[in-house]
């Protein structure tokens, strides 16, 4: 994982880089109680590392235990668990630290943003609650208490999903909350039972995937994966057994759900088992992984700085690596062009995916969809085992109504067999899917 990027690859990246290049931002958690968290940037050409950013390690440190990053339009929110605050950074013209949201003794964990109300939600372990922030003035306006210690959050339109890994007495919990945000106050509409210790979540169509970490009396670590069907409310679970990682990240790569396991980033089969044949590894010291800007961002650690951030292609090829601070825990990508400086309150390429027609079909079907704003969009066909069959669209589209047809062939033009397929429409911020039924 530490070999240098080749000169040829760098030259190619320079040629294909957009005129308005963005940056990858890496947050390093730091060691507990040492206030050595740090924040770094890597330019899109993968040539330059800058950091630690903004804060001086000796006179004004970032703080103790940098838990997570949340990017919303041009603003980056850095949740500092040990320092009990959220640092607010404006990225539109460099990295400008604008203010802090002080929440003493709250032990904040993660933050999610509801665009409809322009409010942020911060999970707090010490309060057993979600703190609600007015993002216009960065002031806490309300507290929404939950039964347990809330962890990660995922917001889709007016619905929020919250993983609750522990009860208030710090015993294991197995709950995921489904919360409606469209009213005057949040309302829990459903509670799902998953494997103990739920944390990371990913939404694919009407299925919510959840990874879990839990411990036995000897403090051995175990992990599992759950899938919640949000239509019929059913839950499928699979325990993967003993676990050697400290985190269990979950991401979507080309429409397939991948999770951390051992020294690999492993795709999940339909039954939630691990597809080791297609795993991306061997990554020694794997601590975290994120997916952004069609790249996999990997943090590896031996718990002592310097640690390593590596940028991979979606197929797992390493493109570059950089030495950073201790415990690189989360990474995001930012470009002002993707956000849209003239319409920074709107999500680029918000999606609507209609039902294909005809369905069932033979030999071809039409897939309608619409975009609220222009942006980068992909439309791909997958079989029921999660393997990509064909790419119909992969590029920039203008706002408005569109349609694409699929003739029942794979990427090489060969006819595929009868059966159920999935069309997955993705932008930088959303993913929608429908089922296609090919009959021959």
Q: Are residues 32 and 166 in the same domain?
A: yes
Measure the CA–CA gap between 93 and 241, rounded to whole angstroms: 47
Same domain? 295 vs 426: no
Distance CA 335, CA 333 (A): 7
DSSP-assigned letter for residue 208: E
Q: Minimal CA–CA distance to 123: which of 98, 99, 100, 154? A: 154
Taking only the tens of pLDDT, the chain with its 440 residues reads: 333 333 333 333 333 333 346 899 999 999 988 889 999 999 999 999 999 998 876 777 898 999 999 999 889 999 999 999 999 999 988 899 999 999 999 999 999 999 889 999 999 999 999 999 999 999 999 999 999 999 999 998 899 999 999 999 999 999 999 999 998 999 999 999 999 999 999 998 889 999 999 999 999 999 999 999 999 999 999 999 999 999 999 998 877 899 999 999 999 999 999 999 999 988 999 999 999 888 999 999 999 999 999 999 988 999 999 999 999 999 999 987 654 333 332 333 467 888 888 999 999 999 988 887 778 889 999 887 678 899 999 988 877 778 899 999 999 899 999 988 989 888 866 778 888 999 98
Range of the domain at 350: 346-438
Give the distance, in angstroms, between the CA of residue 146 and the centroid of all CA atoms in the same chain.
23
- Report strand pairing: 75-80 vs 66-72: antiparallel
Confidence at residue 409, expressed as pLDDT on a 0 to 100 scale: 94
Regarding whether 323 and 183 lie in a shared domain, the answer is yes
Domain limit, last residue, from 342, 365, 386: 342
Within 10 Å of residue 227's Cβ, how many Cβ atoms?
21
Residue 181 placed within a domain: yes
> Do 268 and 292 share a structural domain?
yes
Query: Does any domain span residue 362?
Result: yes
- Say whether both 330 and 354 belong to one domain: no
Strands (E), 279-364: 286-292, 295-300, 307-312, 318-324, 328-334, 351-353
Q: Are residues 328 and 365 in the same domain?
A: no
Complete DSSP assignment for 383-437? ETTS-EEEEEEEEEE-SEEEEEEE-SB-TTSPBPPSEEEEEEEE-SS-EEEEEEE
DSSP letter, residue 277: G
| Boundary of a domain, candidates 281, 307, 342 | 342
CB count in 10 Å sphere of residue 238: 16
Tabulate helix, strand, coil % of the chain (nearest 5): 5, 55, 40
Residue 357 forms part of a structural domain:
yes
**Residues 404 and 267 reside in one and the same domain:** no
Is 2 contained in some domain?
no
Neighbouring C-alpha atoms within 13 Å toward the C-beta of 346: 15
Q: How many domains would you assign to the chain? A: 2
pTM score, two decimals?
0.75
17 lies in a domain? Answer: yes
Final residue in a domain of this structure, among 310, 325, 342 = 342
Residues 281 and 411 in one domain: no
* Same domain (yes/no): 286, 168: yes
Q: Is 19 helix (H, G, I), strand (E, B) or coil?
A: coil
Find residue 101's DSSP bridge partners: 86
Residues 293 and 369 in one domain: no
Specify whether 299 is located in the same domain as 352.
no
Q: Are residues 320 and 222 in the same domain?
A: yes
Residue 224 lies inside a defined structural domain of this protein: yes
CATH number at residue 385: 2.60.40.1930
Specify if 1 maps to a domain. Answer: no
């Amino acid at each position: 994982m530490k070999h240098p990027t080749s000169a040829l690859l760098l030259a190619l990246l320079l040629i294909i880089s957009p005129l308005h290049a963005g940056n990858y931002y890496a947050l390093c958690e730091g060691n507990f109680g040492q206030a050595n968290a740090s924040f770094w940037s890597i330019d899109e050409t993968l040539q330059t590392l800058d950091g630690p950013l903004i804060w001086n390690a000796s006179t004004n440190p970032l703080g103790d235990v940098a838990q997570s990053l949340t990017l919303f339009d041009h603003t980056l929110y850095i949740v500092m668990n040990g320092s009990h605050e959220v640092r607010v950074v404006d990225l539109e013209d460099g990295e400008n630290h604008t203010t802090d949201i002080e929440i003493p003794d709250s032990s904040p964990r993660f933050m999610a943003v509801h665009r409809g109300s322009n409010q942020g939600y911060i999970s707090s372990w010490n309060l057993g609650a979600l703190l609600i922030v007015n993002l216009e003035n960065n002031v806490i306006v309300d507290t929404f208490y939950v039964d347990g210690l809330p962890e990660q959050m995922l917001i889709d339109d007016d619905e929020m999903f919250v993983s609750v890994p522990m009860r208030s007495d710090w015993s294991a919990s197995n709950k995921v909350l489904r919360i409606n945000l469209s009213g005057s106050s949040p309302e829990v509409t459903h509670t799902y039972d998953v494997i103990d210790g739920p944390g990371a979540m990913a939404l694919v169509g009407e299925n919510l995937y959840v990874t879990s970490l839990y411990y036995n009396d000897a403090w051995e670590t175990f992990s599992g994966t759950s899938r919640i069907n949000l239509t019929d409310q059913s839950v499928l679970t699979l325990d993967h057994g003993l676990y050697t990682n400290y985190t269990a990240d979950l991401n979507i790569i080309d429409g397939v759900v991948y999770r951390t396991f051992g020294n690999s980033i492993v795709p999940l089969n339909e039954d939630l088992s691990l597809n080791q044949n297609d795993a991306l590894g061997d990554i020694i010291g794997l601590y975290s992984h994120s997916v952004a800007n069609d790249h996999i961002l990997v943090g590896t650690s031996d718990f002592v700085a310097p640690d390593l951030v590596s940028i991979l292609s979606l197929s797992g090829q390493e493109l570059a690596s950089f030495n950073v601070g201790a415990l690189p825990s989360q990474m995001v990508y930012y470009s002002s062009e993707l956000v849209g400086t003239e319409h920074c309150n709107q999500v680029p390429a918000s999606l609507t995916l209609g039902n294909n027609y005809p369905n069932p079909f033979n030999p071809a079907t039409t897939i309608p969809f619409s975009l609220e704003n222009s942006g980068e969009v992909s439309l791909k066909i997958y079989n029921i085992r999660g393997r990509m069959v064909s790419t119909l669209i992969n590029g920039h589209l203008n706002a408005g109504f569109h349609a694409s047809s699929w003739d029942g062939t794979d990427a090489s033009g060969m006819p595929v067999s009868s059966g159920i397929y999935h069309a997955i429409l993705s932008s930088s911020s959303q993913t929608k899917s429908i089922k296609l039924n090919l009959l021959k």
